Structure 1
Amino acid sequence: MDAREAALRQAHGHAVRWLASLDDRRVPARASVDEIVRALGRELPDAPSAPADVVDLLASACEPGLTAFPCGRFYGFVVGGTEPAALAADWLVSAWDQNSVMRAASPAYAAVEEVAGAWLLDLLGLPGDSAVGFTTGATMANFTCLAAARDAELRRAGWNAARDGLTGGPAVRVLAGEDRHMAVDLALRYLGLGRPELVTADGQGRIDPAALRQALAAGEGGPTIVVLQAGDIHSGAFDPFAEAVGAAREAGAWVHVDGAFGLWAAASPRYAHLTAGCADADSWATDAHKTLNVPYDCGLALVRDPSAVRAAMGLRGDYLIHDEQGDPVDKVPELSRRGRAFTVWAALRSLGRSGVGDLVDRLCRHATAFAAGLAATDGATVLNDVVFTQVCAGFGDDDRTDRVLARLLDDGTAWISGSTWHGRRVMRISVSNWSTTDADVTRSLTAIRRASAGA
Structure 2
Amino acid sequence: MDDSGIGATLDAAHRAALDFLATVDERPVWPRATLDDMLAVFGGPLADEGADPAAVIDEIAAHADPGLVAIPGGRFFGFVIGSTLPAALAADWLVSAWDQNSGSSRLAPTTVALERVAGQWMLDLFGLPRSASVGFVTGGQLANFTCLSTARHAVMARAGWDIAERGVRDAPPLRFVVGADRHGSVDRAARFLGIGRRELTVVESDAQGRMRADSLEQALAEETGPVIVCLQAGEVHTGAFDDFTELIPIAKRQGAWVHVDGAFGLWAAASPSLRALTAGMEHADSWATDAHKTLNVPYDCGMAIVRDPADSIAAFRTGGDYLIYSGLDPWDVTPELSRRARGVPAWAAMRSLGRSGIAALLDRLHANALAMAAALGSIDGIDVVNEVVYTQVMFRTGSDAATRALGEAILLDGTAAVTGAEWRGRAALRCSMSSWVTTAEDIERTVEAIRRLSAG
TM-score category by the smaller chain? over 0.9
Q: CA deviation at 1:208?
A: 0.5
Alignment-derived partner of residue 196 in structure 2: 194
1:27 and 1:68 in contact (8 A); partners too: yes
Matches within 5 A, 1:94-173: 94-173=96-175
TM-score (norm 2): 0.98
Task: Check conservation: 1:204, 1:235, Cα contact below 8 A.
Answer: yes
Rounded Cα–Cα distance in structure 1 between residues aligned with 2:71 and 2:173: 42
CA distance, structure 1, for counterparts of residue 408 and residue 98 of structure 2: 43
Match of 1:269 among 272, 277, 281: 272
- Which residue type is aligned with residue 79 of structure 2? F
Distance 1:376 1:278 in 2: 36
Residues in 2 aligned to 1:344 and 1:316: alpha-carbon distance in whole angstroms = 29
Shifted more, 67-76 versus 188-197: the winner is: 188-197
Residue 285 of structure 2 corresponds to which residue in structure 1?
A: 282
What CA distance in whole angstroms lies between the structure 2 residues aligned with 1:311 and 1:60?
Answer: 49
- Paired letter, 1:251: Q
1:210 partnered with 2:214? yes
| TM superposition shift of 1:124 | 0.7
Deviations 1:309-355 (A, max 9, x none): 111111121111111x2211111111222201111100010011111
Are 1:58 and 2:63 counterparts? no
Which residue does the alignment assign to 2:46? 44
* Equivalent residue letter for 2:231: L
CA distance in 2, matches of 1:290, 1:431: 10
Structure 2 distance, partners of 1:167, 1:383, is 45
Give the stretch that moved more between structures: 109-118 or 279-288.
Answer: 109-118
CA distance in 1, matches of 2:389, 2:79: 17
Read off the aligned partner of 2:68 and give its amino acid letter: L
Gaps of 5+ in 2: none
Q: Aligned equivalents of 2:44 and 2:201: distance in 1?
A: 48
Q: Distance in 2 between matches of 1:327 and 1:33?
A: 40
Q: Which residue of 2 aligns with 1:12?
A: 14
Deviation at 1:37, TM superposition (A): 2.2
Letter in 2 for 1:213: E
Residue in 1 that maps onto 2:422: 420
Aligned residues: 452
| Residue in structure 1 matched with residue 78 of structure 2 by the alignment | 76
The verdict on how the C-alpha distance between 1:215 and 1:41 changes in structure 2, with shifts beyond 3 A counting, is closer
3-state DSSP of counterpart to 1:176 = strand
Q: Answer whether contact 1:89 1:343 (CA < 8 A) is retained.
A: yes
1:28 paired to 2:12: no
Q: 1:260 maps to what in 2?
A: 263
- Contact 1:405/1:451 (CA < 8 Å) preserved in 2? no
1:336 aligned partner: 338
Q: Deviations over 1:69-128 (max 9, x none)?
A: 111100000111101100000000000000001111011012111111110100111010
Tell whether the 8 Å contact from 1:176 to 1:228 is kept in structure 2 after alignment: yes
Asked if the contact 1:259/1:286 (under 8 Å) is kept, the reply is yes
Letter in 2 for 1:43: P
d(CA) in 2 for partners of 1:140, 1:33: 26
- Distance apart, 1:33 and its partner CA: 2.2
CA contact (8 A) 2:112 2:341 kept: no
- The reply on whether 1:245 has 2:248 as its aligned counterpart is yes
Alignment-derived partner of residue 320 in structure 1:
323
Separation (CA, whole Å) in 2 of partners of 1:378 and 1:163? 63
The 2-side partners of 1:304 and 1:138 are apart by 18
Q: CA deviation at 1:194?
A: 2.2
Secondary structure of 1:452 counterpart: helix
Aligned residue in 2 for 1:365: 367
Structure 2 residue identity aligned to 1:179: D
Matched position secondary structure for 1:340: coil
Corresponding residue number in structure 1 for 2:305 = 302
Q: Tell whether 2:434 aligns with 1:432.
A: yes
Structure 2 counterpart of 1:374: 376
Measure, in 1, the Cα distance between the counterparts of 2:394 and 2:43. 42
Shift of 1:403: 1.2
Kept in 2: contact 1:132–1:303 (CA 8 A) = yes
Computed over aligned residues only, the root mean square deviation of the Cα atoms, in angstroms, reads 1.0
What is the SS of the residue equivalent to 1:64? helix
Aligned-residue identity in percent:
54
Secondary structure in 2 matching 1:82: coil
State the shift of 1:40 in Å. 1.9
2:239 is aligned with 1:236: yes
- Tell me the amino acid that sits aligned with residue 257 of structure 1: V
Q: Report Cα offsets for 1:421-448 as digits up to 9, x if no partner.
A: 1100001001101111111111111111
Any gaps of 5 or more consecutive residues in structure 1?
A: none
Q: Once superposed, which parts of structure 1, at least 4 consecutive aligned residues long, lie more than 4 Å away? A: none
Q: Distance in 2 between matches of 1:340 and 1:262?
A: 20
Given that 1:151 and 1:160 are in contact with CA atoms closer than 8 Å, whether structure 2 keeps it comes out as: yes
Question: How big is the shift at 1:233?
Answer: 0.7
For 1:164, the aligned partner's letter is R
Distance in 2 between the 1:322 and 1:128 partners?
22
Equivalent residue number for residue 356 of structure 2: 354
CA distance in 2, matches of 1:154, 1:61: 53
Question: Which residue type is aligned with residue 209 of structure 1?
Answer: A
User: Quick one: distance in 1 between partners of 2:89 and 2:61?
Assistant: 18
